[in-house]
Structure 1
Amino acid sequence: MLAELSPAVIAEVKLAATLLASKERICILTGAGISAESGIPTFRDKQTGLWENYGVEDLATPEAFARDPKLVWSWYQWRRQLVADKAPNPAHHALAQWQYHAQTSEQQVTLITQNVDDLHEQAGSAVTHLHGHLWRDRCGQCEIPYPEQSRAAYIKQDTIRFDDKLITCPHCDGYIRPDIVWFGEALPVQAWQTAEEAAANCDVFISIGTSSLVYPAAGLSQLAKQNGAQVIEINPDPTPNTIVDITLIEKAGVILPLLIEEITAL
């Protein structure tokens, strides 16, 4: 497999593997790029069909939900239907394998994601979600979680379907909304605390499939660097970031299985 890559990329993979195998605390941040390899459109992809005339301000803000809850709910039900059959790709499986391997080694591998899908969980990873969960709901008024539904529950014909009919909260009659962090909303306190602590205390910080330009998540790599960590970026379109020590310019699904194979062999 390594032979299929350029000599320059091979050298960087081996350098990264040697570094990672020698360190105890690893913090990993994944973004839309890793899920895109499973066929899940990124949020910045152009909307198509019914949604092509709507922007972020119409579909993913608290103001949008207050203005037209049915429109926002319908869009998220459409998104759920769109990703329901998507499966983890080799990158997700490699990260899960690494976490499993770390249980019997000296390493601590903390996985943080900006994604709202459950592909990391499907692959077997323990992961902290910064931007919420596509398959969970809560009340938009009293914030109480709505009875949790899994992806499997959504697609079973005898339970919840992808119905765009609004649901009301049994506690306050407010409308149920997706448990997603919308633009203009704060990140979940516990999730952000976990991410900050992992970044501040890691030996190596790895950014995978994310531009590292959207804050506050983009600040995690800087926090890690300030505390002495080395930074690795895996992205076919790397960002102009001066704090990165090793850049692996290739898709995560190509690089990660090779990288984990090298790490576990050392």
Structure 2
Amino acid sequence: MDNLHRRAGNHRIYEIHGNNREIKCSNGCKEIVHLPEEIKGKNIDEDLTAKEIELLTCSYCGHWMRPNILWFDEYYDEKTNKKFSSLKVAKNSGALFIIGTSGATNLPLAIAETALKYVAYIVDINTEDKHFTELIKNKKNKLIIREKSTEILKVIKEIVENLSEII
């Protein structure tokens, strides 16, 4: 949702909690579309223009569009959250990095469980134990690091760069 992976140049991204660059019908209609460039932030005392209202109205049913973000009491699915695609990637991964997240929702935990089931190595980088810690603490194929991600990722990047020079 914060767009950091995209800004870093990554292309194969599964934004399982959605993103604020896309909108979808609040009534569950057809498609997910990009947020029109004409839509800008508003101050609390500013009203939407007629054009903005038109752009934020579903062309199929006339309901309001809303951010393409998973809200409380909603369920993960493939269309919005890439549920099955992300589980397939987890199944075929050799390593899963869990960085700066609690794991308090079911799809991230399912991704970690799937990766473990298919013998991926799990690297848990957080400042404290989280839901993921319970899942992996007794596993052999894990590394638990209790540091700030900004510091440890610099070290990991350096290690990877040195390995790529050797290989």
Q: Distance in 2 between matches of 1:144 and 1:264?
A: 44
* 2:28 matches 1:137: no
Larger relative contact order (Cα-Cα within 8 Å, sequence gap ≥ 6):
1
TM-score, length basis structure 1 = 0.49
Q: Distance in 1 between matches of 2:34 and 2:67?
A: 11
What is the aligned-residue identity percentage? 25
Between stretches 212-221 and 246-255, larger displacement belongs to 212-221
Corresponding residue for 1:73? none
The code of the aligned residue for 2:128 comes to D
TM-score, length basis structure 2 = 0.75
Aligned 8 A contact 1:235 1:249 in 2: yes
Structure 2 counterpart of 1:183, from 72, 77, 84: 72
1:234 deviates by: 0.6
Corresponding residue for 2:60? 171
- Mark the CA change 1:249 to 1:178 in structure 2 (over 3 Å): closer, same or farther: same
Higher helix proportion (structure 1 or 2): 1
Q: Distance in 1 between matches of 2:75 and 2:33?
A: 23
Q: Where do 5+ consecutive residues of structure 2 fail to align?
A: none
Alignment of 1:1-266 (within 5 A): 116-126=1-11, 127-145=13-31, 147-149=33-35, 153=37, 159-163=38-42, 165=48, 167-189=56-78, 191-239=82-130, 240-244=133-137, 245-266=142-163
The code of the aligned residue for 2:62 comes to D
Q: Distance in 1 between matches of 2:93 and 2:4?
A: 24
SS of the residue 2:154 aligns to: helix
- Mark the CA change 1:223 to 1:146 in structure 2 (over 3 Å): closer, same or farther: closer
Aligned 8 A contact 2:29 2:60 in 1: no
Q: Distance in 2 between matches of 1:144 and 1:122?
A: 28
The count of residues paired between Structure 1 and Structure 2 equals 144
Q: Distance in 2 between matches of 1:238 and 1:202?
A: 23
Aligned 8 A contact 2:24 2:31 in 1: yes
The code of the aligned residue for 1:251 comes to K
Q: Distance in 2 between matches of 1:209 and 1:122?
A: 18
Corresponding residue for 1:74? none
Aligned 8 A contact 2:19 2:68 in 1: yes
Q: Where do 5+ consecutive residues of structure 1 fail to align?
A: 1-115, 154-158
SS of the residue 1:217 aligns to: helix
- Mark the CA change 1:227 to 1:162 in structure 2 (over 3 Å): closer, same or farther: same
Aligned 8 A contact 1:142 1:172 in 2: no
The code of the aligned residue for 1:134 comes to N
- Mark the CA change 1:146 to 1:243 in structure 2 (over 3 Å): closer, same or farther: closer
